[in-house]
Chain A
Amino acid sequence: MRPLLERLAAGDVLVGDGAMGTMLLERGLPPGRPPESVTLSNPEALEEIARLYLDAGADLLETNTFGGSPLKLALYGLEAETEAVNREAVRAARRVAEGRAYVAASCGPCGRLLEPYGDATADAVYGSFRWQIEVLVDAGADCIFVETMTDLVEAQLAVRAAKSVSPRTPVVATMTFDRTPRGPYTIMGVSVAAAADGLEQAGADAVGSNCGTGIEDMIPIAREFRAASRLPLAIQPNAGLPRAVGGRTVYDETPASLAERAKELAAIGVSIVGGCCGTTPAHIAALRAMVDGLPGGRRASPRP
Chain B
Amino acid sequence: MPALTEVADAIIRGDHAGVAALTRQVIREGIPPKTILDDGLIAGMTVVGDRFRSHEIFLPDVLLAAKAMYAGMDELRPLLIREGVPPIGRVVIGTVRGDLHDIGKNLVGIMLKGAGFEVIDLGHDVAPEKMVRAAEEQGAAVIGMSALLTTTMPVMRETVELLRARKLDGAIRTVVGGAPVSEAFARDIGADAYGFDAGNAVDVVKALVGRA
Q: Which residues of A contact B (CB under 8 A)?
A: 25, 30-32, 34, 113, 116-118, 150, 180-182, 185-189, 241-244, 247-249
Instruction: Decide: A189 near B58, CB < 8 A? Known: A25-B151, A32-B100, A249-B150.
Output: yes
Contacts known (A32-B99, A187-B58); A242 close to B179, Cβ less than 8 A: yes
Residues from chain A with a CB closer than 8 A to the CB of B54 are: 181
Tell me which residues across on chain B come within 8 A of A117, comparing CB atoms: 59-60, 63-64
B152 at the interface (CB under 8 A from A): yes
Q: How far apart are the CA atoms of A6 and B127 in the complex, in Å?
A: 50
* Least CB distance, A205 to chain B, in whole angstroms: 28
- Give the residues in chain B near A118, CB-CB below 8 Å: 63
Given contacts A116-B64, A117-B60, contact A242 B55 (CB under 8 A): no
Enumerate chain B interface residues (CB-CB to A < 8 A): 54-55, 57-61, 63-64, 67, 97-100, 103, 125, 149-154, 179-182, 185
Which of B63, B100, B153 has the largest number of chain A CB atoms within 10 A? Answer: B100
Query: Which B residues lie within 8 Å of A150 (CB)?
Result: 59
Residue numbers in A under 8 Å from B100 (CB-CB): 32, 34
Q: Which residues of A contact B181 (CB under 8 A)?
A: 244
Q: Do B57 and A31 have beta carbons less than 8 Å apart?
A: no
Q: Is the CB of A181 within 8 A of B55?
A: yes
Task: Please report the C-alpha to C-alpha distance between residue A113 and residue B110 in the assembled complex, in whole angstroms.
Answer: 14
Contacts of A241 in B (CB 8 A): 179-180
Inter-chain contact B55/A185, CB cutoff 8 Å:
yes
A189 — which chain B residues lie within 8 A by C-beta?
57-61
Choose one: B55, B61, B67, B149; the contact of A180 (CB below 8 Å): B55
Q: Is the CB of A32 within 8 A of B98?
A: yes
Q: How far is the CA of A118 from the CA of B149 in the complex (A)?
A: 26
CB-defined contacts of A32 to chain B, threshold 8 Å: 97-100, 125
Closest residue of chain A to B14, judged by CB?
A: A116
Contact B152–A31 (Cβ < 8 Å)? yes
A34 to B124, CA, bound (A): 12
Residues of chain A within 8 A (CB-CB) of B55 are: 180-182, 185
Instruction: For A186, list chain B residues within 8 Å (CB).
Output: 58
Could you tell me the distance between the alpha carbons of A243 and B148 in the complex, rounded to whole angstroms?
10
Nearest-Cβ distance from residue B172 to partner chain A, whole angstroms: 23
CB distance from A181 to the nearest CB of B (A): 6
| From B61, B151, B182, contact of A249 by CB (8 A) | B151
Question: Of B59, B99, B154, B182, which contacts A247 at CB under 8 A?
Answer: B154
Partner of A243, one of B60, B98, B150: B150
* CB-defined contacts of A31 to chain B, threshold 8 Å: 97-99, 149, 151-152
Closest to A213 in B: B179
Sample of 9 more A-B contacts, CB < 8 Å, known A31-B99, A187-B58: A25-B151, A31-B97, A32-B99, A117-B63, A188-B58, A188-B60, A243-B180, A244-B150, A244-B182
- 6 A/B residue pairs, CB under 8 Å, sorted by A: A117-B59, A185-B55, A187-B103, A188-B59, A242-B150, A244-B182
Chain A residues with CB under 8 Å of B125's CB are: 32
Q: Which residues of A contact B182 (CB under 8 A)?
A: 243-244
Q: A244 near B185 (CB under 8 angstroms)? A: yes
Closest 8 CB pairs of A and B: A31-B98, A189-B58, A249-B150, A180-B55, A117-B63, A32-B125, A32-B98, A242-B180
